């Protein structure tokens, strides 16, 4: 039986953070508990494929704290001595937590499965903190009926797309990738000029952009209404868009896309660090990664996981990963305040 209690936190407006017990009261005679801060997406499937098997294997109750990246990170910053043991975060938010000194430096001799991570995901291991457990990427959702050929990110600058495209806002998970994309179009290394060339390209792109969106769910309505004919989107959002507009196609440029990692970090003040290490190693295992890929559409980072073409459909997998670029969020976060001002002046 799922048990729930609510704790309210004030973040401008009242937000509810939900604590969810994955097991039942009789499943854990030891009384051990592992508190994991994560998103509230696909909760039943997560329990079935990830959390409950861990509870059964280790004789522990997993309790989930549910919320979005910003809510949960802010809550931990405000109370680093909370009972949260592990926290799932998108890479940019994880970097904020690292810089704030919230997370345990990881002893990877205790995480043997980290050796099986693909080359791109190894960058999170090299950072010295929590590893990537899944990844996603951006591509271009295109409505072919518009009659505009779009095969690359550079094609989004075509004048015939004036007022017809949407891109993620810079404050979203994939927003920084738009800056990197624009810098690449300019032929300039992003870190060499702190994004100056990128923002010149974004200024040139502005006439084509009808909206900088914060929620990928907005794209389904915009495509179905004909408001846009192309959008830069995360791979995991494509299925929802396609349900609203079946004609759309998802294009991954041959030149490569940009990756975003979701990570698992240990609260530096956790009282259950040994168990937290066990969970991270478990989450990176071939068995769990394969289950999550097939049941939750989470792109695997473990190189031992092999998926059929059908299972890998709409995932960031195989050659897409091999050709993709990794963003340096340690650098990006250091520039974000300045970039945000420039973005708002140009794009909004």
277-319 residue pLDDT tens: 999 999 999 999 999 999 999 999 999 999 999 999 999 999 9
The pLDDT of residue 12: 34
Domain count, the chain: 2
When pLDDT is averaged across residues 167-174 and rounded to a whole number, the result is 96
When pLDDT is averaged across residues 127-148 and rounded to a whole number, the result is 98
When pLDDT is averaged across residues 129-135 and rounded to a whole number, the result is 99
The pLDDT of residue 28: 61
Q: Is the pLDDT of residue 13 over 80?
A: no
The pLDDT of residue 248: 98
Q: Which residue has the higher pLDDT, 197 or 2?
A: 197
The pLDDT of residue 10: 31
Q: Is the pLDDT of residue 4 over 70?
A: no
In sequence order, the 6+-apart residues with CB closer than 8 A to the CB of 92 are 173, 176, 260, 329, 332, 333
280 and 292 both lie in a single domain = yes
The pLDDT of residue 31: 81
When pLDDT is averaged across residues 149-171 and rounded to a whole number, the result is 98
163 and 196 both lie in a single domain = yes
The pLDDT of residue 1: 33
217 and 266 both lie in a single domain = no
313 and 331 both lie in a single domain = no
Number of Cβ atoms within 10 Å of the Cβ of 19: 16
* CATH at residue 338: 3.40.190.10
Q: Is the pLDDT of residue 348 over 90?
A: no
141 and 215 both lie in a single domain = yes
Q: Is the pLDDT of residue 16 over 80?
A: no
When pLDDT is averaged across residues 241-260 and rounded to a whole number, the result is 97
| Sign of the CA dihedral with 295 first, then 301, 303, and 308 last | positive
The pLDDT of residue 247: 97
Confidence of residue 26 (pLDDT cuts 50, 70, 90): very low
212 and 241 both lie in a single domain = yes
Q: What percent of the chain has pLDDT over 70?
A: 91
312 and 335 both lie in a single domain = no
Domain that holds residue 206: 137-258+326-347
The pLDDT of residue 324: 98
Confidence of residue 338 (pLDDT cuts 50, 70, 90): very high
337 and 241 both lie in a single domain = yes
Q: Is the pLDDT of residue 198 over 50?
A: yes
When pLDDT is averaged across residues 134-139 and rounded to a whole number, the result is 98
The pLDDT of residue 41: 83
**What gap in Å lies between CA 278 and CA 264, rounded to an integer?**
12
pLDDT in tens, 62-107: 999 999 999 999 999 999 999 999 999 999 999 999 999 999 999 9
The pLDDT of residue 29: 63
28 and 101 both lie in a single domain = yes
123 and 11 both lie in a single domain = yes
The pLDDT of residue 7: 34
97 and 195 both lie in a single domain = no
111 and 191 both lie in a single domain = no
């Amino acid at each position: 039986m799922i048990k729930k209690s609510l704790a309210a936190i004030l973040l401008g407006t009242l937000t509810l953070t939900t604590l969810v017990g994955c097991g039942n009261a009789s499943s854990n005679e030891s009384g051990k508990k592992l508190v994991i801060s994560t998103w509230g997406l696909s909760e039943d499937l997560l329990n079935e494929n990830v959390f409950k098997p861990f509870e059964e294997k280790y004789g522990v109750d997993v309790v989930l704290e549910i919320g979005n990246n910003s809510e949960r990170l802010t809550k931990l910053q405000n109370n680093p001595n909370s009972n949260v043991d592990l926290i799932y975060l998108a890479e940019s938010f994880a970097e904020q937590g690292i810089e704030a000194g919230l997370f345990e430096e990881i002893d990877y001799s205790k995480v043997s499965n980290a050796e099986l991570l693909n080359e791109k995901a190894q960058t999170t291991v090299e950072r010295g903190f929590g590893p990537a457990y899944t990844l996603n990427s951006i591509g271009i959702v295109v409505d072919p009926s518009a009659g505009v050929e779009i095969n690359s990110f550079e094609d989004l600058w075509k004048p015939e797309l004036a007022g017809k495209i949407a891109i993620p806002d810079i404050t979203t998970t994939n927003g920084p990738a738009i800056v990197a994309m624009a810098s690449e179009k300019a032929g300039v290394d992003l870190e060499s000029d702190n994004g100056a060339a990128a923002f010149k390209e974004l200024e040139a792109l502005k006439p084509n952009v009808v909206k900088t969106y914060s929620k990928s769910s907005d794209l389904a309505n915009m495509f179905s209404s004909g408001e846009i004919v192309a959008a830069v989107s995360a791979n995991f959002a494509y299925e929802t868009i396609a349900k609203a507009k079946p004609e759309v196609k998802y294009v991954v440029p041959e030149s490569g896309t940009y990756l975003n990692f979701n990570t698992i970090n240990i609260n530096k003040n956790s009282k259950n660090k040994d168990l937290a290490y066990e969970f991270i190693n478990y989450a990176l295992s071939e068995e769990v990664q394969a289950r999550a890929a097939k049941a939750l559409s989470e792109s695997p980072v473990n190189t031992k996981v092999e998926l059929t073409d059908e299972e890998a459909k709409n995932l960031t997998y195989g050659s897409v990963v091999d050709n993709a670029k990794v963003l340096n969020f340690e650098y990006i976060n250091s520039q974000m305040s300045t970039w945000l001002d420039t973005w708002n002046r140009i794009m909004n």
